[in-house]
Amino acid sequence: SSLPITMSKRKVAYYYDPDVGSYTYGLGHPMKPHRIRVTHDLVAAYDMLPKMHVLRPKRASPEMLTAFHTDEYVHFLTRVSPETAEELTYHGTRFLVGDDNPAFEGLFEFCSISAGGSICAAQRIASGAADIAINWAGGLHHAKKREASGFCYINDIVLGILELLRSYPRVLYIDIDCHHGDGVEEAFYTNDRVMTCSFHKFGEYFPGTGTQEDKGRGKGRGYAINVPLKDGVTDESFRSVFEPVIAKILDVFQPSAVVLQCGADSLSGDKLGCFNLTMKGHAHCVQFLRQQNIPLILLGGGGYTVKNVARLWTYETACALGIENDIEPSLPWNEYFEWFAPRYRLEVVGNNMDDLNMKDGSLDRVRVTALEQLQEIAH
């Protein structure tokens, strides 16, 4: 057709399990799987479901999870429950630590839904049946080989990337969650077929890793990129580092597929986050990657102000479909309509907080350092 390439349609696969919203980490815990259901209801109310392949992911089996995690840890997750947690952790095992990762009812099923979605998304991309695959229940980037961390138990991202590596020579992982993507970075730290790039708040902030000194080891040296940021990042300052760094990566690394973790805690007003991105500033990352015409997986992640998480991921679903300019800014009626008071609009606006990245030239330094690191692997 005569449409410019950025406007052309893509085959989009959207993975959703109607049970996912029913799991709960417990009263007072900031992570709320219900946000996935609120997002889905809004996507449905905007009439986007008929425009994509809506698929229920196959739940991942324990064996599938051992592609990354240890047998002992996966076996523990299949057995643990609120009742047995103490007993199982008592005998010297420290799989779940502290109150970040409670042993909630249905924990293993929740993990197999989240991981199943990312594995299925990778298979759908690799088969060529989809250009973009979405799993908002995925993106749990802190989970380690033998340990849960930061609300994450199973690293669906690592499992999805391992699936992509069966078909593709090189995979790029980009993480725009406000927290460092430590679990994914660690999993591929010595690997030159996976480049990881995390943008995150750094300095007195969970999990505490992700400086620009950490760039990979052995064969993987130079293939881990970290972009440590300070409080108050705006759309403009984020874009001024995201675009040149990602453009340089695409140039020097030439990935055959991209996985984008779309953690929504980098939005302005998030309960745990400290950035100042608007919905459109965040979604610009999705638009930028869609334009590149490289197979793309979109995953969820953090995001603790539920109404804004639902707005963002709904808008990013529209971006995947290329219909974001046709979408009505006033929210359609939906099951959770009253949650979106008082404006009932598809928007997340910024606030007047200071952008500490603009104070002492730190943003410029971070950008230059990342670009210099990438120049070293260019040959």
Interaction site with ligand V1S (CB under 6 A)? 28-30, 98-100, 140-142, 150-152, 177, 179, 206, 263, 265, 272, 301-302
Binding mask 289-328 for Zn ion (x = CB under 5 A): -------------x--------------------------
Q: How far is the CB of 330 from ligand V1S (least distance, A)?
A: 30
N- to C-terminal Cα separation, the chain: 37
Q: Which one of ligand V1S, Zn ion, Ca ion, none interacts with residue 29, CB within 5 to 8 A by kind? A: ligand V1S
- Using the rule CB under 5 A, which residue among 131, 163, 177, 214 binds Ca ion? 177
What is the enclosing helix (H) or strand (E) of 201? strand 194-201
Smaller CB separation from ligand V1S, 297 or 321 = 297
Q: What is the DSSP string of 282-325?
A: HHHHHHHHHTTTS-EEEE-----SHHHHHHHHHHHHHHHHT-GG
- Residues 264 and 309: their CA atoms lie apart, in Å, by 6
CB 332 within 8 A of CB 310: no
For residue 201, state whether it binds Zn ion (rule: CB under 5 A): no
Pure H helices in 91-230? 107-126, 156-165, 182-187
Q: How far is the CB of 179 from Zn ion (least distance, A)?
A: 4
Smaller CB separation from Zn ion, 17 or 177 = 177
Cα 162 to Cα 111, 113, 169: the distances in Å are 17, 17, 11
Of 62-70, 162-170, 174-182, 368-376: span binding Zn ion (CB under 5 A): 174-182
Q: How far is the CB of 177 from Zn ion (least distance, A)?
A: 4
Token readout for 318 is 């529209």
Residues 6 or more apart whose Cβ sits within 8 Å of residue 74 = 62, 65, 66
Of 38-46, 172-180, 189-197, 310-318: span binding Ca ion (CB under 5 A): 172-180
Q: Which one of Zn ion, ligand V1S, Ca ion, none interacts with residue 198, CB within 5 to 8 A by kind? A: Ca ion
Smaller CB separation from Ca ion, 60 or 246 = 246
Whether 180 is a known active-site residue: answer: no
- Residues 270 and 336: their CA atoms lie apart, in Å, by 19
Residue nearest ligand V1S, Cβ-based: 302
Q: How far is the CB of 214 from ligand V1S (least distance, A)?
A: 17
For residue 40, state whether it binds Ca ion (rule: CB under 5 A): no
- Residues 92 and 167: their CA atoms lie apart, in Å, by 40
Q: Of 40, 142, 180, 282, which one is the catalytic site residue?
A: 142
Q: Residue 94: phi, psi to the nearest 5?
A: -130, 55
Residues 6 or more apart whose Cβ sits within 8 Å of residue 174 = 197, 198, 246, 258, 259, 260, 261, 285, 289
- Residues 35 and 114: their CA atoms lie apart, in Å, by 13
For residue 198, state whether it binds Ca ion (rule: CB under 5 A): yes
For residue 214, state whether it binds Ca ion (rule: CB under 5 A): no
Smaller CB separation from ligand V1S, 138 or 295 = 138
Token readout for 181 is 């993507």
Q: How far is the CB of 266 from Ca ion (least distance, A)?
A: 7
Smaller CB separation from Ca ion, 163 or 182 = 182
Beta pairing class for 257-261 and 224-229: unpaired
Residue numbers at the binding site for Ca ion (CB under 5 A): 175, 177, 181, 198, 200
Catalytic residue numbers read 142
Residue numbers at the binding site for Zn ion (CB under 5 A): 177-179, 263, 265, 302
